[in-house]
Amino acid sequence: MSKASNAKPQEFTITAPGASNVSLVGDFTHWQQHPLAMKPVGGGAWKVVVPLPPGTHHYRFLVDGEWRDDAECTLRVPNPFGTENSVRQVG
């Protein structure tokens, strides 16, 4: 059974008014190797929906080239760069 077959759509959003380029990056995009472009949805919010397999996924946002945390995510873990990655659990 393929892991992709039980992937579940996960919505990621960030509020970044005035931003011109927002991406989602994480262990599921090989970080900056394959960033996922986010789309503006109004009111300064940006969104992307990503199918993720069950498990634990670490991620961050890149807003105009600067790393940003997910303010809505309460589960975070330290990363090797002195900041924190947000964690999404997919059941």
| Residue 57 domain-assigned (yes or no) | yes
| Residue 47 domain-assigned (yes or no) | yes
| Residue 15 domain-assigned (yes or no) | yes
Global pTM exceeds 0.85: yes
The domain in which residue 37 lies consists of 7-90
Query: What CATH number did the domain enclosing 43 receive?
Result: 2.60.40.10
Tens digits of pLDDT across the chain (91 residues): 444 579 999 999 999 999 999 999 999 999 999 999 999 999 999 999 999 999 999 999 999 999 999 999 999 999 999 999 999 999 9
- Total of domains in the chain: 1
- Nearest CA to 68 out of 86, 41, 82, 56 is that of 86
| Residue 62 domain-assigned (yes or no) | yes
| Residue 1 domain-assigned (yes or no) | no
Q: Residue 7: which residues within 8 A CB-CB, separation 6 or more?
A: 51, 52, 53
